[in-house]
Chains A and B, each alone.
Chain A
Amino acid sequence: MAKSFRDVLKSDKFVITSEIGPPKGTNLDSMLHHIDILKDTVDAINVTDHQSSVMRFPSLGGCLYIKEKGAEPIMQMTCRDRNQMALQSDLLFAYARGVRNVLCLTGDSIVVGDHKDAADVFEMDSSQLLRTVRQMEAGRDLGGNELDGGVEFCAGAIVTPEADPLEPQLIKFEKKVEAGAEFIQTQAIYDLENFAKFMEYARQFDVKVLAGIVLLVSARMAKFMTENVPGIFVPQSLIDELAAAPKGQALSKGIEIAGRMIATLKDEGICDGVHIMAIGKEEVVPDILAAAGINGRH
């Protein structure tokens, strides 16, 4: 059995998480394969919740398979699709089935996804969801009613260290910490100097910060992300480095870059760990860790 994620966070270990995206449909082969690859490699596995507002197999479903395989899931929970009743109810079910970690997210907009006409909920935001978890742990639901059998979660949230303007994001970050976030997984970061500055600030707070590492697979992807994805900045030097890779070697270069960043973050003690998002290339997560000089969870 994997060590509980909270225990890993409390240890001095450099924490490593990664994530899987459930399928659109009931063919779980690829998801289960990804769980098998990651389960002995990372400390916990996030399962995305209809990422980018694309309807998929549920996060909670993916978490149960991770539990079955003896690994530690982090249930991503967005406020986009469920009102306070449904969110609380899913927390009860998740807890009852052994899911002990939840990442509280506001969620992407419906209109960026594949059900553009659907109703969005957003009755709560991420900080309100975190407080809901803590209130349920104290034995009461949001209606103030006593729970017959409680819950206990290691709860986390996210932050975007490259946001523009940054200060409103930091105010929200502090609200999340106040609401009881124990860990923070960041949006993808590539500029380690900027990130170190963010960490100088974040170190004031009692929360573990895992830097978001999104695998770059080509110069084109890197350029697209820096130009189009809010809160992501890829330095030109990295784009050039990927562009200079020999034909067919861009992925290896991306793995090398991710590994190098992780090694720097770890060796210089910049943050408490990393969250690796390989976005469909989960097979290479062990290679990224090997490139970082880290060989598996154990």
Chain B
Amino acid sequence: MKSITKQKSLEEIQQQLVGLDRVYIIGCGTCTTMTRTGGRDEVLEMKERLQGMDKIVTGWLVTPTACDEMTGAALVHANGAIANASCVVSMSCAMGVQRMAGYLDKPVLPALDTLFIGLESSPGDFHEICAQCGHCLLGYTAGICPVTACHKHLLNGPCGGTDSGRCEVDKDKDCAWTLIYKRLKQQGRLDVMRRYQPVKNSQVVPRPRIMRVD
């Protein structure tokens, strides 16, 4: 599972940096390195771009896993160069940004947008397959999640927009319910699809979601 990110436009990064001229850049050695949005190469590219905006880059670092608590130790290690900066530009996902912001008293600004938590189904091909809805229905849907894989997160079968197994909103996407139907049919379990699924509980864990494990 990877946190899937996309780089923000330079214009938006610049907007966040108004009044902040000295920048320290932090990338992440895990997800954003895999997705080539915040690894070493992208951090070095960002360094040049920020310098092109007349920013002073006081240093940079690629922390092994930005969302991990070990990031605290990495920030202590880089303390001098960070102290010289007026802010940190993070090239991790939003979890890394928040981890860093908790450790630092300077602004931590995201250079990336966090899109979804995805599984790499083949190299470079990331799919969101779980929306963490709080009540798993995979037992009724042949192991394919309609809450995530159906554009309208329908629970009782396909909408009328499906066409030849494709989703109406994007011909490159499969219709989740056609996949579910085919797999249930192959398993001889179409009766499961005929079962009515009631409206989902949207408040299984009301937001913000917290779990305490003792």
Contacts and interface: CB of A to CB of B under 8 A. Distances in A.
Interface of A: 80, 84, 106-109, 111-112, 120, 122-125, 127-128, 131-132, 142, 158-160, 163-165, 167-169, 171-172, 174-175, 178-179, 187, 230-231
B199 A168 contact: no
Contacts of B185: 167
B177 to A, nearest CB: 6
Interface class of chain B by DSSP: loop
B198 interface: yes
With a 10 A CB-CB cut-off, give which of A124, A142, A158 has the most chain B CB atoms: A124
A108 B154 CA distance: 12
A109 B169 contact: yes
Given A106-B154, A231-B161, 12 more contacts: A109-B169, A120-B152, A125-B156, A132-B199, A160-B160, A163-B162, A164-B164, A165-B178, A171-B194, A172-B156, A175-B194, A231-B160
Contacts of B161: 108-109, 230-231
Nearest to A176: B156
Nearest to A108: B161
A294 to B, nearest CB: 27
A158 B160 CA distance: 9
A285 B157 CA distance: 34
A172 B150 CA distance: 15
Contact of A175 (B160, B162, B196): B196
Interface in B175-214: 177-178, 181, 185, 190, 193-194, 196, 198-200, 202
Given A160-B160, A231-B160, A122 B194 contact: no
B29 interface: no
Interface residues of B, number: 29
Contacts of A168: 157-158, 162, 177-178, 181, 193
Contacts of B165: 164-165
19 contacts: A106-B154, A106-B159, A107-B152, A111-B169, A120-B152, A122-B153, A125-B159, A127-B157, A131-B196, A158-B160, A163-B160, A168-B157, A168-B177, A168-B181, A169-B160, A171-B194, A175-B196, A179-B196, A230-B160
With a 10 A CB-CB cut-off, give which of B154, B160, B196, B202 has the most chain A CB atoms: B160
Which 8 A-B residue pairs are closest in the complex by CB-CB distance?
A172-B157, A230-B163, A160-B160, A168-B181, A122-B152, A125-B154, A127-B156, A109-B169
A111 B159 CA distance: 15
A104 to B, nearest CB: 12
Nearest to B158: A168
Contacts of A160: 160
A142 B153 CA distance: 20
Contacts of B162: 163, 168, 230-231
Contacts of A109: 151-152, 161, 168-169
B199 A84 contact: yes
B155 interface: yes
